[in-house]
Amino acid sequence: MPLDEFSIIQKYFSSLGESQGISLGVGDDCAILDIPKGKQLAVTVDTLVEGIHFPVRASPADIAHRSLRVNLSDIAAMGADPHWFTLALTLPEVSDSWLHQFSQALLTDALSFGCALVGGDTTAGPLSITIQVLGTVSQGKPLIRGGAQEGDSIYITGSLGEGAAALSLFDATSDLARIATKDTLNRLLQRFYRPEPRLKEGAYLRDLASAAIDISDGLIADLGHIAKSSGLGANIELDRLPIASWLLALAEPSYIEDWVLFGGDDYELCFTVPNRNKDLIESMISSRELNAVYIGKMSKIPGVRCFDSRGQAVELKKSGYQHF
């Protein structure tokens, strides 16, 4: 007999991860959580639907990793610490092996990122996963999008373009899956299913950055959000954009540019730094404490503009990912 909802929760989701402040976890009508004094709650939610946000027949472990990590990336972008999460799982059928793999992968990430499942819901229907992460941030200290000032320096963590390149693996009209080596394929899939939430970087940036966002819709679109929210514009130098050398070897420069500027799903942080903190950020980068690069400056003129190495403006062709 298939498991009912109560048994699914008992068997797979009653004790998943560890965190502070859980007065009452899974098993009652609500979870009861203690928010430490001087902290504010940071809340984010994301739904992933099979066939839209990940390919049909993706492995349960892959789906679990991505579902939690995209949310943790939003927590990182606020300079917050994750503590708790809830899960709403819609399943076409109850499969023990699917649930086992899914919950084990979720447990691995919950433990490594320091958060715990505190509640959820299961329903029958087309496969979809909704995770809500709750974190805390010091009172009045969240890294919001609208905090940048004119002249602030713009930085990016990690490297860009791999998330969008990975997406094109799932596109039947793209020949990337055929031409890429096994090693490259694995790197791209890893990047797609296990994006690295930049929590450590977000914590460093709390007191140093003026604004931050995680890159989910593409650099131009997401930096555009910082610019607009701050009532400013941004100038970026294309030659400074961080691109992994193995990615450069993978496709024509025009594809790469498209992936880097307009492709989403990188889950790197884009952040701005006021002049007074720039030396400190640069020294953290030099000592490899912080993996980030400078890419440009905030400007008074609205919009995001790109420049080449000679300082010439470069015309952009596309705009970022639209959800609808």
Site residues for Mg ion per CB under 5 A: 74, 214
**Separation of alpha carbons 146 and 211, rounded Å:** 6
Q: What angle do CA 123, 126, 127 make, to 5 degrees?
A: 80
Pick between residue 214 and residue 265 the one whose CB is nearest to Mg ion: 214
Pick between residue 99 and residue 270 the one whose CB is nearest to Mg ion: 270
Q: What angle do CA 134, 137, 140 make, to 5 degrees?
A: 130
Are 144 and 226 in contact by the 8 Å Cβ rule? The answer is: no
Pick between residue 225 and residue 305 the one whose CB is nearest to Mg ion: 225
Pick between residue 12 and residue 271 the one whose CB is nearest to Mg ion: 271
Residue 109: in which H helix or E strand, if any? helix 96-113
CB of 74 to Mg ion, least distance (A): 4
Beta strand 303-307 with 233-237: parallel, antiparallel or unpaired? Answer: parallel
Residues 6 or more apart whose CB falls under 8 angstroms from that of 10 comprise: none
CB of 36 to Mg ion, least distance (A): 24
CB of 312 to Mg ion, least distance (A): 32
Pick between residue 9 and residue 213 the one whose CB is nearest to Mg ion: 213
CB of 266 to Mg ion, least distance (A): 11
**Separation of alpha carbons 133 and 82, rounded Å:** 7
CB of 34 to Mg ion, least distance (A): 26
